[in-house]
Chains A and B, each alone.
Chain A
């Protein structure tokens, strides 16, 4: 099998998040892209300043490196300890039952566990460790991940959110949220 068949390609969600990221980034931001996949977004942002990316899939990590991205193979942010002012994440969010799981890398780029929020939840739980005090997160979510449930999850993990852009595509609404720490807590 061609290794590139195991790498999530640029899709409508990639383009939506890329546009939001380009509008959000400042020249002095320290940027982290989590799960960069093919590296499209990180490579585009690297032109604007310092960008680091993580990726668990070895084929995707190699593809991102070929685009010149400083990529680290790790799960979400687990091997990182620095602080970033802008964190970008297009997560796997498709609700997937255990019996539907296929053990390959492409499937892993899509599989959000039974609720679609499993990987998002793990990310939000650990992201605070690498987010600068006034840092922002751009997180892509889908109508498939449940609006009320997402709001509850964000609140429980201590974030306030606002939508920055959205797109309805084949009956699914994709939204980019800007998250900040809830300083009221």
Chain B
């Protein structure tokens, strides 16, 4: 996903903003990383360039 896509993404559960953590990217786009909803304490993965915003369990404390 391109970085600018972040502005239109939100947590599917609370609709809050997501915080981007990149682990692999090219000049054009992010390939691997995490979109974190700090409100819900949920990490949504970015895998093979596709952000996965399906509801899932919270990150353990």
CB nearest neighbor in B for A71: B50
| Cross-chain pairs A/B with CB under 8 angstroms, 28 sampled | A52-B8, A61-B50, A62-B50, A65-B49, A65-B50, A70-B1, A70-B5, A72-B9, A72-B50, A72-B51, A72-B53, A73-B50, A73-B52, A73-B53, A73-B54, A74-B12, A75-B12, A75-B54, A79-B9, A79-B10, A79-B12, A79-B44, A79-B53, A79-B54, A80-B8, A81-B8, A81-B10, A82-B8
Chain A contacts for B44, CB-based, 8 A: 79
Chain B nearest CB, measured from A55 CB (Å): 9
Instruction: Identify which of B7, B11, B15, B51 contacts A73 (C-beta below 8 A).
Output: B51
- The main secondary structure of chain B at its interface with chain A is loop
| A-B pairs under 8 A by CB, number | 50
A70–B6 Cα distance when bound, in Å, is 12
Mark B residues whose CB is within 8 Å of A.
1-2, 5, 7-12, 15, 44, 48-55
12 further A-B contacts with Cβ under 8 Å, apart from A52-B5, A62-B50, A72-B53, are: A62-B48, A65-B49, A70-B1, A71-B50, A72-B1, A73-B50, A73-B53, A75-B54, A79-B10, A79-B44, A79-B51, A81-B10
CB nearest neighbor in B for A32: B8
Chain A contacts for B52, CB-based, 8 A: 73-74
Chain B contacts for A74, CB-based, 8 A: 12, 52-54
Chain B contacts for A71, CB-based, 8 A: 50
A62-B50, A65-B50 as given contacts; A70 in contact with B12, CB under 8 Å: no
A74–B44 Cα distance when bound, in Å, is 11
Chain B contacts for A141, CB-based, 8 A: none
Asked if B8 and A78 make an inter-chain contact with CB atoms under 8 angstroms apart, the answer reads no
Verify if A7 is at the interface (C-beta below 8 Å from B).
no
A50-82 interface mask toward B, CB cutoff 8 Å, 1 = contact, 0 = none?
001000100001100100001111110011111
Chain B contacts for A72, CB-based, 8 A: 1, 5, 9, 50-51, 53
Chain A nearest CB, measured from B28 CB (Å): 11
A62-B48, A65-B48, A81-B15 as given contacts; A70 in contact with B2, CB under 8 Å: yes
A78–B44 Cα distance when bound, in Å, is 13
Asked if B12 and A78 make an inter-chain contact with CB atoms under 8 angstroms apart, the answer reads yes
